[in-house]
Structure 1
Amino acid sequence: MSIKLKILSIWTPQSLLINELDRVAEVTTECLDKLLKEHSAESLNLLEDLVMEGNLEQRRALMAEGHNVRVNALIDAIGYEKAMEVGRTEMFKAGYKLGLEARGRLGVNENIRDTIKAAQILYRVLGIEFKVEKLEKNMVLMVKRCSLANYYSPETCRMMSAADEGVVHGLNENLNMLFKKRITEGAKECTACIKSKNQL
């Protein structure tokens, strides 16, 4: 484990959390805007640019509201099923990009321990606390607390969770994650299955 990853897993400065959140907001919002430009340019023209300001929690709320508005516009334009299909595909790519960036910055090695530590740092940015349990060959990620669940609609959460799946794959390309339950859909906790390539 790199020294940087070890230090940040213990203590992450507020300024770094804000910078990371702003980067997440930038990449994911650009992705949604690109989809709207392709499928409903008139909707995109009506949307306000996302301006990140305030403390960490205020920024999370601003990002989430920006996501909600854009996801709803995409659903209105092309329907729920198609919006989820194209939205989740592109969000996975956006998350993968963020995961690769974080992997380089944090010095993440391709082992599960490093991946989980790095994911915990990135999830701290979003106000998410999780634990990982191993059940036989597969791992299960369980989210007990999620700040974004206070703001996201179920539709937005379903689409944006693909970005989380992409981040994990970007941090460690041997791992694939898929959410099965979400707090925004009434579950007590979000759960996701994580499989390594040699188990697929």
Structure 2
Amino acid sequence: MLTRETPVQIDGPVGQLEALYLDSAEPKGLALVCHPNPVQGGTMLNKVVSTLQRTARDAGLVTLRFNYRGVGASAGTHDMGAGEVDDALAAALWLRARHPDLPLNLLGFSFGGFVAASLGGRLEAQGEQLARLFMVAPAVMRLGDEDALPQTCAITVIQPETDEVIDPQLVYDWSSTLSRPHELLKVAECGHFFHGKLPELKELVAPRLSI
């Protein structure tokens, strides 16, 4: 199994996006991973993002993680909203162009949960049939009326119960008002960054990537 990611440059809306790509000899699907808030130091090397990437890799998926505009070697400056979703769309289209027939999974942590969710709606509107959306400790307060969720793929929300960054109750309330089917998984005694709980995160994600 291939384990070493390859640095790549992706043409983004405001310039080149820095990314890490991992192919697979016999790929079962695709995984695009979106990182947390860049203003608070979030990058594609975040440990939760890295855990999600490795989990997808171990499930036999081709993976791509990338830095939003203004992060690392990616061009541009932070937009903190639609711009990062535009960047994610460019990354998704880059991945899809290389693997036109494989099912696509979207995974996002914190701010990246908002990005992945909004991206999912955009891709579905363009005719993409997504496999699954994972929202990990997601910044649901950023989702506006213009951020339509995908309606046909499976959605898994994973929320730490002692999250000190995203108020868990905000996520629970959002989940309770979501009209479409989804699953909400709560992780007990776990903070936002999954300190000491990364193996449990992997255990929740891995079997759902294999479906």
TM-score, normalising length: structure 2: 0.30
When Rg is computed on C-alpha atoms for both structures, the one with the higher figure is 1
Q: Which has the higher contact order (CA 8 A, sep 6+)?
A: 1
Name the structure with the higher helix share.
1
Name the structure with the higher strand share.
2
TM-score, normalising length: structure 1: 0.31
